[in-house]
Chains A and B, each alone.
Chain A
């Protein structure tokens, strides 16, 4: 079946450090891939998405590239801010279901 595997957290960084959160997936066909972000006390909101191989999603300085050959969709940001502290979820869909990874907590310190 379809599944998403994310690196475990928490990821702890200093402000302006480079961020990578790994995400790999297992799916049949050609899924769409997403990164969602959850700020404290809030629901999830879409950060970026990619719908086909080699697509790059980007938003708010975050990027992720849909790599079909490695079944990956790693999230990156060149310079994190304290305000980026949140939980990040990788997700996929290729049917009527949206499947999430377990989430990775990011903590950024000044």
Chain B
């Protein structure tokens, strides 16, 4: 039972480089989301998706793109990395509320990104 799998676990980028953080879940959850965690600021929502082909912006979307071509995968793209994007990134998935199902969110192990 893999749950939510994030790769890579660690990454160092130079300013201006691009990369994709991968996230996959095997629980058939409709809802997937990306958060960044910074000291003193908790988890802030970057982008989320309520199903394949549907994405929306969260609290801090600037500098990030997402797509949801399948139920299982929800990659996060940094097109031109900046030092302000140094953070720990978490992917999460869950069933949607209001469907009589458990709305617990399951998290990946995180990706620690440093932009120099």
Q: What residues make up the interface of A, taking CB atoms closer than 8 Å to B?
A: 32, 34, 36, 42-46, 49, 89, 93-103
Instruction: Say whether A98 contacts B92, CB under 8 Å.
Output: yes
Segment touching A, from B13-21, B75-83, B107-115? B107-115
The B interface is mostly helix, strand or loop, or mixed, namely strand
Q: Does B53 contact A (CB under 8 A)?
A: no
Count A/B pairs, Cβ under 8 Å: 52
Q: Does B96 contact A (CB under 8 A)?
A: yes
Instruction: Say whether B42 contacts A89, CB under 8 Å.
Output: yes
Q: Give the number of chain B interface residues (Cβ < 8 Å).
A: 24
Q: Smallest Cβ distance from B42 to chain A, in angstroms?
A: 4
Instruction: Say whether B58 contacts A102, CB under 8 Å.
Output: no
Instruction: Say whether A96 contacts B48, CB under 8 Å.
Output: yes
Q: Smallest Cβ distance from B68 to chain A, in angstroms?
A: 13
Instruction: Say whether B110 contacts A43, CB under 8 Å.
Output: yes
- Measured in the bound complex, the distance between the Cα atoms of B94 and A46 in whole Å is 12
Instruction: Give me 23 A-to-B residue pairs in the complex whose CB atoms sit less than 8 angstroms apart, sorted by A's number.
Output: A34-B105, A43-B90, A43-B107, A43-B109, A43-B110, A44-B43, A44-B90, A44-B105, A89-B42, A89-B43, A93-B97, A93-B103, A94-B97, A95-B97, A96-B48, A96-B50, A96-B96, A97-B33, A98-B94, A98-B105, A100-B43, A102-B40, A103-B42
Q: Which of A45, A95, A98 has the most CB of B within 10 A?
A: A98
Q: Does B41 contact A (CB under 8 A)?
A: yes
Q: What residues make up the interface of B, taking CB atoms closer than 8 Å to A?
A: 4, 31, 33, 35, 40-43, 45, 48, 50, 58, 90, 92, 94, 96-97, 103-105, 107-110
Instruction: Say whether A32 contacts B97, CB under 8 Å.
Output: yes
User: Residue on A with the closest CB to B33?
Assistant: A98
Q: Which 10 A-B pairs have the closest CB atoms?
A: A43-B107, A102-B42, A100-B43, A44-B107, A46-B104, A103-B42, A100-B42, A43-B109, A43-B110, A96-B50
User: Residue on B with the closest CB to A8?
Assistant: B40
- Measured in the bound complex, the distance between the Cα atoms of B18 and A89 in whole Å is 31
Residues on A with C-beta less than 8 A from B40 are: 102
User: Residue on B with the closest CB to A42?
Assistant: B109
Instruction: Say whether B48 contacts A97, CB under 8 Å.
Output: yes
